[in-house]
């Protein structure tokens, strides 16, 4: 016996392992790889009033919150289709393992979907996955969508609220997104959770931009 002990798993190590493994979203919850530089700078919270969809926004009391945006040179209908056709997210978001609609038809208030993200092993944690159940609360066709729901992994729960808005502007469509996270593990390390949420949201926008512009300019 060498006498070397395995690293102890703590709530903070589980949080970091999960957040570093997830792109998003998200939603949602971090970055599977370092986010590429965004050609449109992050607006943060200094850019103005919080985003809303049909008058409803993110959780004002959540300890972690971020807002960012990007301009995409593609038709609004193309961008909207990519973002709201949730079952096809894995085709352009490589870190999304699977998505299952919990119902049929187009997204509408009350529609829900469950999606999974693999979490690779870290020195202090085994490989696992994050299961996210998102429920649409408000939606306006080709204008905005707001969903809420928990992300649950081994020893981890994050309650998220996510708003997306889509606005036609010169040069394309401005896609803006704002998300909040709450939960004991998030509160245990707010700076890390905030940083990784920012990276995740910006990585998601970059993937959406790439997919939409590729389709638009074929």
Are 156 and 40 contacting, i.e. CB atoms less than 8 angstroms apart?
no
pLDDT level of residue 29 (50, 70, 90 thresholds)? very low
Instruction: State residue 3's pLDDT score.
Output: 42
Distance CA 215, CA 208 (A): 11
Q: Are 82 and 92 in contact (CB under 8 A)?
A: yes
Handedness of CA 82, 215, 43, 16 (dihedral sign): positive
pLDDT attached to residue 45: 37
Q: How far apart are CA 77 and CA 63, in angstroms?
A: 34
3-class DSSP state for residue 183? coil
**Residues 29-46, mean pLDDT to the nearest whole number:** 36
Alpha-carbon span 78 to 76, nearest angstrom: 5
Q: What is the pLDDT of residue 119?
A: 74
Q: How far apart are the first and last CA of the chain?
A: 61
- Per-residue DSSP letters for 124-167? TB--EEEEEEEEEEEEETTTEEEEEEEEEETTEEEEEEEEEEEE
Contact indicator for 11, 188 with CB cutoff of 8 Å: yes
Q: Which of 13-17, 151-155, 205-209 has the highest mean pLDDT?
A: 205-209
Compute how many other C-beta atoms are within 10 angstroms of the C-beta atom of residue 89. Answer: 22
* pLDDT tens per residue, range 130-164: 899 999 999 999 999 999 999 998 888 999 999 99
């Amino acid at each position: 016996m060498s006498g070397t002990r395995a690293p102890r798993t703590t709530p903070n190590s589980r949080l970091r392992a999960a957040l570093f493994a997830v792109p998003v979203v998200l939603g949602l919850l971090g970055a599977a790889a370092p986010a590429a530089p965004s050609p449109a700078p992050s607006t943060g919270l200094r850019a103005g009033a919080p985003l809303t969809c049909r008058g409803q926004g993110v959780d004002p009391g959540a300890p972690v919150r971020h807002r960012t945006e990007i301009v995409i040179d593609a038709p609004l209908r193309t961008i909207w289709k990519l973002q709201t056709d949730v079952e096809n997210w894995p085709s352009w978001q490589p870190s999304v393992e699977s998505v299952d609609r919990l119902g049929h038809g187009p997204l509408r208030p009350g529609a829900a979907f469950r999606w999974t993200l693999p979490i690779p092993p870290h020195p202090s944690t085994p490989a696992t996955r994050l299961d996210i159940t998102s429920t649409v609360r408000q939606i306006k066709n080709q204008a905005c969508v707001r969903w809420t729901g928990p992300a649950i992994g081994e020893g981890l729960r994050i309650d998220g609220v996510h708003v997306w808005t889509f606005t036609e502007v010169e040069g394309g469509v401005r896609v803006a997104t704002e998300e909040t996270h709450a939960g004991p593990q998030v509160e245990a390390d707010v700076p890390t959770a905030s940083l990784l949420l920012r990276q995740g949201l910006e990585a998601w926008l970059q993937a959406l931009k790439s997919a939409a512009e590729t389709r638009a300019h074929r």
